[in-house]
Amino acid sequence: MSAENIEITDYTAVWKAACMEAFISNVPDYFATAEIAQFEDWLDKMNEDLMYWHYYVVLSGDILIGCGGFVYEEKLNRVTFAWGLINRKYHRQGMGKLLLTYRLEKIRTLYAGADIILDTTQFSHTFFEQYGFVTVKYTENGYTMGLHRYDMILHAGK
């Protein structure tokens, strides 16, 4: 898949079913089964007007490749990545990098000077390390048995 055919745009409810399908394609390796309902709740909240919540979809024509976003915490001047994922059938094609760099650019434009935090699994933490994120906490079986949690940060200006 070529990046030139890809569009990243704001999430709307029309993409909910495709986002759910993409999420489920990553269970149980990247997300725990228990997180399916949490993700669906998140998508439902995206229909509300939440000033500091941002969520995007990665599209190739009318096909959803992935989705991801972030929330800004004004009091802490911090951004938390939220539910970033690529449908499993599009892994290892540069789509995760595209979504990550898009979110980083948005954050730097909207919230310059904010640190960025995220949590991820043992299967993805090295991906984020390539972009300057560092692990600040490791929790074995932090999501579920066999799915370890890495809490990571990218300090502003990195």
pLDDT, tens digit, 9 for 90 and up, residues 15-49: 999 999 999 999 998 999 999 999 999 999 887 76
CATH number of residue 84's parent domain? 3.40.630.30
Domain range for 137 is 3-154
pTM above 0.85, yes or no: yes
The whole-number pLDDT of residue 47 equals: 72
How many other C-beta atoms can be found within 10 angstroms of the C-beta atom of residue 87? Answer: 21
Over the stretch 87-140, which tens digit does the pLDDT of each residue have? 999 999 999 999 999 999 999 999 999 999 999 999 999 999 999 999 999 999
Nearest-angstrom CA–CA distance, 135 and 153: 7
Q: What is the Cβ-side half-sphere exposure of residue 100, based on CA atoms within 13 angstroms?
A: 19
- Per the CB < 8 A criterion, the answer to whether 15 and 23 are in contact is no
**How many separate domains does the chain show?**
1
pLDDT at 4 over 90: no
Question: Looking at residue 3, what is its pLDDT?
Answer: 65
Angle at 42 between CA 40 and CA 48, to 5 degrees: 120
